[in-house]
Amino acid sequence: MNWILLSLAVFFISMVICGIIIPQILLIAFRKRLFDEPDERKIHKGAVPRLGGLAFMPSIVFSLCFVSGLLFLAGENNASWDMLSVKRVLNSVSVENQVIPVCFGLCALMVMYLVGIADDLIGVKYRAKFVAQILAGLLFAAADVRLNSLGGMLGIYELPVVISWVLTVFLVVFIVNAINLIDGIDGLASGLSGIAMAFYGLSFNAADQFLYGMVAFAGLGTLVPFFYYNVFGNALRRKKIFMGDTGSLTTGIVLSFLALEISNLDRDGLFTADVLVVAFAPLAIPCLDVVRVFVHRVIRGNSPFLPDRVHIHHKLLALGIPQRVAMVVILGASAGLIALNLILSPMFGPFMIVVTDLLIWVVVNFLLTKKIRGRQKREGISVGYD
């Protein structure tokens, strides 16, 4: 019961705060004409503010600090909160093992938040973003929020400290950019991130890591009101908003923090699955998509950092599938892939699961490309589709 109450508390507080802030951001954005103007690459029509991510960090920090403060205050005063089982929760919250990583994680969140604001308002070069992401990764590593083991993948178990730091920074940069690049249609990035945060929250609570579970549900709370305004908001009524780089960067850094912490849980298994599978299965679709897109661009001699229209959601749209349906299909695929990975984990090692996911992704993209070319041929469109 204790973890349910804690999770619900941070979730609802974060959701309410974010739900209050977003309308104010819309008001300011329209008064100051801070819009995301449409162009030939973008899907949306009309002026839509892209500052929704401004609401994320304040909502997460306030809800997390407020509920944590009440929890520790109750323990300090020996309050009789039988329903919360305060003693059990406090015993599980080791200052050394959880509070310190969360503090460094919030520092990294602040870095991403400020870089995102600067990018949304005046633009930031991708090299500067990479520097900020590397700094965030180093903050994680310094707090021991690191990939310390490959759990036997390729015969590798414990990693040397230097390799662990390098892999951690790489994963942080990779995950943050994967979330940023998948943000191409309404509800996609927030939906995928929401599924991942809900899964991480349940996983941490199942492992009695309540503080990390609170971080996950605080992040989930910010995504619910944003998802509503992003997917169901009417642009003509000035009720629609995008998360912008502020939102994708802050969401990405929270997800990378949670994934790395999951990877450090007891290796006896969680949900009978390997912890590496539990850690990275929720991020499979954005990560697989960014790998395929980067490889696609490099093979064709283009910069991997220049935008194009070959992401998975672009392919579904090219088939004539409505934007909202495409979003639902991808979210369903993400949930299905998570379930598949968990089912296969007791039977296969993490390496074989990665190979399986890659094969599935290659086959799906090949079939989609084939169908798109067939559709273009039937409609007499001469330009092919890669």
Which pLDDT tens digit goes with each residue over 214-268? 999 999 999 999 999 999 988 888 899 999 999 999 999 999 999 999 998 875 5
pTM: predicted TM-score of the whole model, two decimal places: 0.90
Its sign, for the CA torsion 283, 9, 108, 262, is negative
**Alpha helices per DSSP H over the chain:** 2-32, 56-76, 86-92, 100-121, 126-142, 161-182, 188-206, 210-227, 244-262, 275-280, 284-299, 312-318, 323-344, 350-378
The Cα diameter of the chain in Å comes to 75
Read off the tokens for 289. 């998509």
Give the chain's end-to-end CA distance (angstroms, integer): 52
List 158's β-bridge partners, or say none: 149
pLDDT digits (tens, 9 = 90+) for 328-360: 999 999 999 999 999 998 888 888 999 999 999
Q: Between residues 171 and 302, which one has the greater pLDDT?
A: 171
How does DSSP classify residue 86?
Answer: H
Q: In this model, does residue 118 exceed pLDDT 50? A: yes
Mean pLDDT of all residues in 20-34: 90
**Distance (Å, whole) CA 386 – CA 364:** 14
pLDDT: is 179 or 210 the higher one? Answer: 179
129-156 tens-digit pLDDT = 999 999 999 999 999 899 988 877 777 8
What pLDDT is stored for residue 378 in this prediction?
Answer: 82
Mean per-residue pLDDT for 56-69? 93
Mean pLDDT of the chain: 86
